[in-house]
Amino acid sequence: LRRLRGRAPRTEPTLQMDVSANSLLGMVASGRLDLAFVHEVEGSPLRVPPQLCLRVLVEREPQFVTLAVDHPAAARREVALPDLAGDRWMVDSTVDGEWNALCRVLRAAGQEPDILHGDYLTAYSLAATGEVVTVSQPTAHPRSDLALRPLRGDPIGVRLLLAARTEAEIDGVFAELADAYREVAR
């Protein structure tokens, strides 16, 4: 937002949050939003309205695990799924594709998914107390009571996309978004 304000100081950008990328894409297609910055979970393609233009910001962003700082696996630089075999997971089932991706990955690792539904604010709170572990973006803001760690083999990934009705709308913000992402990722 800071970068967009700098580009057009007389215009105040508004922000619309929704955990459903498909919902945001529908809002852009119907003209309720100009742009959407969304992620597409591997194995769960988004329903992109045909009139939208898409541009890939990041082809594959691996998803991390968030756990309590005193969790035994938090001492590792990278966490393997077997290190979390006895843990309960929490994900927001309204995030398009995330529930399915986690179930698929856990089953492929020979684990029967033990997953609770909940929003990510609740998931982070419960992770901090050791009740659950959760999936996170590697760019998530650090907290002193949580450890964010890469999952060995990067089994869950997302593609980051910018969507608009025209290429010109994407051109107008893509460079700023790419710079902002790189800054946060560093």
Spatial distance between the Cα atoms of 93 and 148, rounded to a whole number of angstroms:
20
Determine what percent of the chain is predicted with pLDDT higher than 70: 100
Mean pLDDT score of the chain: 93
* Bridge partners (DSSP) listed for residue 56: 161
Spatial distance between the Cα atoms of 67 and 131, rounded to a whole number of angstroms:
9
pTM of the model: 0.89
Token match 């051109």: residue? Answer: 171
Spatial distance between the Cα atoms of 128 and 136, rounded to a whole number of angstroms:
13
Of 14-23, 31-40, 123-132, the poorest mean pLDDT is in: 14-23
Q: What is the pLDDT of residues 86-141, one digit of tens each?
A: 999 999 988 999 999 999 999 999 999 899 999 989 999 999 999 999 999 999 98
Angle at 106 between CA 104 and CA 109, to 5 degrees: 110
DSSP per-residue string spanning 7-67: HSTT--------S-HHHHHHHHHTTS-SEEEEEEETTS-----TT-EEEEEEEEEE-EEEE
What is the predicted pLDDT for the residue at 141?
84
Spatial distance between the Cα atoms of 7 and 172, rounded to a whole number of angstroms:
9
Backbone phi, psi, residue 130, to 5°: 85, 10
Q: Is 24 exposed, middle or buried (0-12, 13-18, 19+ CB in 10 A)?
A: buried
Q: What is the pLDDT of residues 66-81, one digit of tens each?
A: 999 999 999 999 999 9
- Please check the confidence at residue 6 and state whether its pLDDT lies above 80: no
What structural domains does the chain harbor?
Answer: 2-60+158-185 (3.40.190), 64-155 (3.40.190.10)
What is the predicted pLDDT for the residue at 99?
92
The DSSP bridge pattern shows strands 157-164 and 53-62 to be antiparallel
Contacts of 23 (CB under 8 A, 6+ apart): none
Of 2-6, 156-160, 167-171, the poorest mean pLDDT is in: 2-6
